[in-house]
Amino acid sequence: MAIYHCSIKITSRGKGKSAVAAAYRAAEKITNEYDGVTHDYTRKGGVVHMEILLPDNAPAEYSDRAVLWNAVEKIEKAKNAQLAREIELALPVELSKEENISLVREYVKRHFVAAGMCADIAIHDTGGGNPHAHILLTMRQFNEDRTWGDKQKKVYILDQDGNKIYDPKKRQYKCNKVQTTEWNEQTKVEEWRGAWADICNQFLERGNHTERIDHRSYERQGIDQIPTGNGKARHTHRTREHQPRNRGYKQPVAAIKGAYCQTARLAEKGNREHRAAQPCRLYSRDTFTESAGGKIGLFAIAV
């Protein structure tokens, strides 16, 4: 049964991520020239299709995955730079492999490559009924000379006479920073999610399948039904699939905490009983005044 899943997230250097992690999705070996780390996922299985789609003004050499994402790592200087946008899509199980490839390619060309983004596509299918696609998109548009463009530009604040306003404290003219594209607008997320549902339904109808998907929640659709999950049950074969599995026995956290607290309580109880059973000898202040500099008063010592 076809299900809807379209997850859109940002790959950020500030969160310890790398654009060269595209090597995982494509099951390739790529060295990140930014930090020298080699990502080798050549043993990964289940990658049934991969390709890179470029806009008209992108350099041809960016059709090479290693060249493309190392170029992204190089142009981004900030330690918290946004490196790429990743879209994860659950593919209709009703469609064949070739149909799903055409579906993803058409969706990506129409909504991302046509807008000026480079798109790195990897389709995974291990045969377990969970075909899905990873799409990694660049965050900068290209200039006419095929170089990377700016993500944002300065718009100077003008006075009533149309002159720039100087800020003596910052020693520069006052300005606002404006995004050069609308790709980060929240409305684009809704647009892209809706577009995925529409094109999936078109392909399903074209193949004479009765199933349909909808990107809206039950509440927005006017359906009085409680959702059974987060919509990613079939899609997510492993939540963080690029991380190694923990194959060891893992006890529930609550059980571990409970056992620890019980042990601590028993130990404290034993200490109290031990101290209560010890005889005490009382000493006066005068006994220790000289050795303690007059700072010790009446107290008891267990003997």
Residues recognised as catalytic:
24
Sheet holding 82-90, edge to edge: 6-12, 82-90, 132-137, 119-124, 47-53
Six token digits for residue 128? 């377990």
CB neighbourhood size of 30 (10 A): 25
Residue type, 238: R
Burial (CB < 10 A; 0-12, 13-18, 19+), residue 258, is: exposed
Write out the two tokens for 178.
Answer: 């404006």
The structure tokens listed for 92 are 């209709």
- DSSP letters along 233-280, please? TTT-SSTTTTSPP--S----HHHHHHHHHHHHHHHHHHHHHHHHTS-E
- Rounded CA separation 214/225 (Å): 15
Dig out the tokens for 292 from the structure.
């303690």
12: Cβ contacts below 8 Å, ≥ 6 apart: 80, 81, 82, 83
